Structure 1
Amino acid sequence: MFVHSASAHRPIERLSQVIPAACPRLPDADAVLPYLRRMDAARTYSNFGPLLTAFEARLAERFETGTAVVTCVNATQALTLTLQALDLPKGGLVAIPSYTFVATAHAVVAAGLIPLFLDVDPEDWMLRPATVREALKQAPGPIAATIVVAAFGAMPDLDGWRALRDETGLPVVLDAAAAFDTARTADIPTVVSLHATKVLGVGEGGFLATTNAGLAARLRQLTTFGFRGARVSDIAATNAKLSEYAGAVGLAALDTWDSDRLRFLRTARLVRAAMTYLPEIRFQSGWGDDWVTSVCSVRLPDGSVGAIERSLQDQDIQTRRWWDRGCHANPAFNECPRGDLQVTETLGRSVLGLPFAVDMGEHEISRVAAALGSALASL
C-alpha cells in the first residue's frame, strides 16, 4: 500500500494474469527499520511506549485541537469498547445500518447491546438521521445509541447527526473504519480502522478519536485491564492495547501518507476515466476527486451483480461484494429487530467491489473496464 523507493513506484508484476480485487501494501522493511532500531534502543515493546505514544499524537494532529486518540488492537474492539465506555443500558437497542460490514453489528452484540437494523439512503448508501428519528417512535424497545457508518470511506452529513444528538440526547458514534482520509473532526466519537486493507494500515489495529476527554480515558482503561495509572483494576476490562511494533509501522505509514494519498487519487481518476463510456456504472460521489479509500465500490444496474461478477471471474478478474446483502442476511443476526430494508436489499443486488490498489497499472485498469463493458453488454 505504501512505497519508499523509486523502483517501488512501478506497477507490481503479478505472478499470474489474475487481477485481484484488492492488493494491500504496508510500509516496506526499509521504512520501518529506523523505528524498530529506536524500539530496540528503548527496550520497550508494548505498554504505551514512545513509538505508540508518538503515533497516537500524530494521528490526533489530523483532528481539531483537543482531540484525544486511543489506539486499539483493531477497529472492531475499538467500537465495542467505545460502546461500553458510553455506559449504555445492557440489552438496549443500537440503531445501525444493515448495509455495513458485519463488524459493526458484532461490536454492538459484544458490548451487550442489540443491533436494530435500519435502511440507508439510496444515493449515498448511509443511514439518515430522519430514519433514526422515526425509529425512536416505532422501535420495539428504547434505543440507547446509534452508529452511523461512513460507507466505504465516504463521510456522512455530520451536521445532521449532531442535530439529532443535540435534540434527542441520543449518543451517536461514527464507524469510520474505511474513512481515514475523510475523518478529520471528532466531536462525534469516531472509530477508524488501521487494518492492512485500509489506505493507512499497520496490519491489525484501529483507534478512537474524540474530543470527550472522559470518554477517551474510559476507553483507555477498558483496553488495559481496567488500570488507571496504577496496577489496580478499577473496572472489569480487557487487554486491547496496540504494540510498539504496530506503532513503528504506523509512523512509517504516516511518513508517506501525503504522497500515497496522491497515488490513490491518481489511480482512482484513471479508473473513472477508463469507465466514462459506461454510463450504467455509478461511482460513489466524490470518490477519487474529493476523497480516497482502498476499495472501488460501484453501483450496477439493479439485480445484475451475480451475472457481472461471473463474467468478470471468467476473465480472471476478481471482485468482492464487500457488504453483500447487509448484516441482517447473516445467520448470526437472525433474531435482531429490523425495519424495512428495501434499499439495503437492492444495494446487495447491485453494488460490486471492482479491483483496486494504490499501484494498479493502466493495463490492468483497461482490462477491467473492457471486461465490465462486455459483461454489461451481455445483460
Structure 2
Amino acid sequence: MPASARKLAVLPAAPVAPAPNSLPVSRPTMPRAEQVLPYLQAMDAAGWYSNFGPLLMQFEARLQARFSDGAQVVTAGNATLAIGLALKAMGLQPGARVAIPAWTFVATAHAVLWAGYRPWLIDVDPATSMLDPLATESALADAPGPVDAVIPVMAHGAPIDLDAWVLFQARTGVKVLIDAAAAFDVLDRGPLPAVVSLHATKALGVGEGGFFVSRDPVLNEAVRRMTGFGFMGDRVATIASTNAKLSEYAAAVGLAALDGWPGVRERYMRVAQRLRLALMGRPDAAFQPGWGLTWVSSVCVVDLPAGSAATLADTLAEAGVATRRWWGEGCHREPAFAEYERAAVPVTDALARSQLGVPFYSTMSDAEVDHLASSLSQALDRL
C-alpha cells in the first residue's frame, strides 16, 4: 500500500454532531443481565449449553402455553430459517411457486429462495397492508403457473383473519404458512402453521431466534428434525437438513424476557396510547387498526398523505427525529428478486410512498412522545 494511502487510512472520521432532541426510530427492549443470570446459573449447574437442553424445553413449553388450541412450538435459530424449514417440511414440489406479498420485509422472499422455491410477488389490500384471501384466490387465475403455497404476512404485527385463510386453503388446495414475524403479541392460535421472530428488535426478543407453531404433529416433527441435522432423538440423519437449533443461552434470555413480558407489553401500550392521543386531531397521520388499543408490536407505522413519506422523513430528520421505511420500496424493487415473477402491485407502490416508521419503543418518555407528535404535526403542516 502506498504511504499516502496508509496515511489516509488512519485519518479519523470527521465528528458528526447529533441533531437536537434526537429521537432514534427504535430501541430494543431486552432483559437486563441480572434478570438473565438465574437462568445462566441453572444452565451452568446442568452443564447443558445447546442441543435441546432443559432451558430450551422450558422456553418452548412457556411459549406453547400462550396458544389456546393446543398448537405446538418448535424454536429455531431465526425466523427466516424457520420459514424456509417450514416450507421444506410442507412437502412442496421441487422449484414450487410460492405467492408472497410484494409489501413485506425481504426475509420472506429470502426464505422462499433458500428453501429452493420461487417467489411470486403479488399485491396487498390497501386497508390492511396484507394479502386478502379472496383477492389472492382471484389472483391465482392469472398466476404464471401452478402455485403450491402462499405466505400471508401479518404486517408489522397486525392481526390477521386466520379462519379466512383456513377456508382459502380448503377451497384452493394451496398450502398456507403465516409469516407472523412481528406478531408475538397477537398470535395465540395455530390453525395454520406460522413463524414468529424473536429478534432483538421484536416485542419479545432473545437476540437472534424464532419459532414455528402449528397444530399438525407431523409437520412439527419434520420441522424439529430439520433444525438438528435430520436427527430425532438419535444419531441417524434421516433427511438432508441443517443446524438451526436455538441454544441454551438464547433460551435463558427468552425465559427472562417472558418473565418481564406483561410489564413490557403494558409499557408499549402506554406509549402507543399516548402517541395516539397526541395525534388524535391529525387524520392525515393514521395508525394501523387497533394498534395501541387491542394489540401492539415493537414498531409504529403511520399512514400519511399519498406520496409524502420521503418528504416527511427529510423534514423529521431536520427536527432530529429518525424514521425508517421498514420495507423500503417493496420486495419487487429489491435487486435480489428482480428476476422473479410478480403481478401488478399498485397498492404496494402506493404504500411504499405513504407509510413511514416513526420512533417507538417501550422506554419512550412522555417528553419524547410529545416531541415526536409535535414534529410530525409540524412536518405535515409544511406539506
Asked if TM exceeds 0.5, the reply is yes
Q: In 1, distance between residues paired with 2:368 and 2:259? A: 28
CA distance in 1: counterparts of 2:350 and 2:20, whole angstroms: 34
Q: Who is 2:43 aligned against?
A: 39
Match of 1:305 in 2: 309
Q: Distance in 1 between matches of 2:273 and 2:46?
A: 43
Tell me, what secondary structure is at the counterpart of 2:315? helix
> What is the deviation of 1:16?
7.3
Distance 1:201 1:142 in 2: 37
Q: Report the 3-state secondary structure (helix = DSSP H, G, I; strand = E; otherwise coil) of the residue aligned with 2:151.
A: strand
Given the alignment, which residue of 194, 198, 201 partners 1:197?
Answer: 201
Residue from 118, 122, 125 that aligns with 1:121 = 125
How far apart are the structure 2 equivalents of 1:119 and 1:33? 46
> Does the 8 Å contact 1:300/1:350 carry over to 2?
yes
Larger Rg: 2
Conserved in 1, the CA contact under 8 Å of 2:99 and 2:122?
yes
- The corresponding residue for 1:158 is 162
What is the rounded CA distance, in whole Å, between the counterparts of 2:19 and 2:194 in structure 1?
Answer: 39
Q: Name the counterpart of 2:63.
A: 59
Letter in 2 for 1:238: T
2:73 corresponds to 1:69: yes
Corresponding residue for residue 8 of structure 1? none
Question: Matched residues in 2 for 1:105 and 1:81: separation?
Answer: 13
Match of 2:88 among 84, 98, 101: 84
Alpha-carbon distance in structure 1 between the residues aligned to 2:264 and 2:239: 41
Secondary structure of the corresponding residue to residue 152 of structure 2: strand
Deviant stretches of 4+, over 3 Å: 14-17
How far apart, CA to CA, are the structure 1 residues paired with 2:79 and 2:100? 16
Unpaired runs of 5+ residues, structure 1, are: 1-13
Judge conservation of contact 1:92–1:141 (CA < 8 Å) in 2. no
Counterpart for residue 283 of structure 2: 279
CA gap of 1:74–1:15, structure 2 versus 1, over 3 A, is farther
Question: Aligned equivalents of 1:122 and 1:275: distance in 2?
Answer: 22
Distance 1:220 1:16, change over 3 A: farther
- Check conservation: 1:94, 1:113, Cα contact below 8 A: yes
Q: Is the 8 A contact 2:21 2:319 kept in 1?
A: no
Paired residue for 1:143? Answer: 147
3-state DSSP of counterpart to 2:177: strand
Counterpart pick for 2:367 among 363, 368, 372:
363
Matches within 5 A, 1:336-351: 336-351=340-355
Q: 2:130 matched to 1:99?
A: no
Q: Does 1:265 align with 2:274?
A: no
Amino acid at match of 1:120: V
Offset from partner CA, 1:163-205 (integer Å, 9 cap, x none): 1111122110100000000001112001000000011000000
Deviation of 1:15 after TM superposition, in Å, equals 11
Contact 1:153 1:179 in 2 (8 A): yes
Distance 1:361 1:90 in 2: 51
Alignment match, 1:170 = 174
Q: 2:112 aligns to what?
A: 108
Aligned residue in 2 for 1:7: none
- In the TM superposition, what is the alpha-carbon distance from 1:350 to its structure 2 partner? 0.2
The amino acid that maps onto 1:171 is K
Q: Deviations over 1:82-124 (max 9, x none)?
A: 0001110111111111100000010011111111111111011
SS at match of 2:121: strand
For 1:234 and 1:135, how far apart are their aligned partners in 2?
38
Question: Aligned Cα RMSD in Å?
Answer: 1.2
Q: Secondary structure at the match of 2:357?
A: strand
| Percentage identity across paired residues of the two chains | 51
Structure 1 residue 211 and structure 2 residue 215: aligned? yes
Kept after mapping to 2: 8 A contact 1:73/1:241: yes
Does the Cα contact within 8 Å between 1:198 and 1:293 map onto a contact in 2?
yes
Give per-residue Cα distances to partners, 1:235-254, cap 9 Å, x unaligned: 10000000000000000011
Partner of residue 322, structure 2:
318
Segments of 5+ residues of structure 2 without an aligned counterpart are: 1-17
Could you say what secondary structure the match of 1:197 adopts?
coil
Aligned counterpart, 2:231: 227
Shift of 1:229: 1.6
TM-score by length of 1: 0.95
For residue 315 of structure 1, report the CA deviation from its aligned partner: 1.1
Name the amino acid aligned to 2:196: V
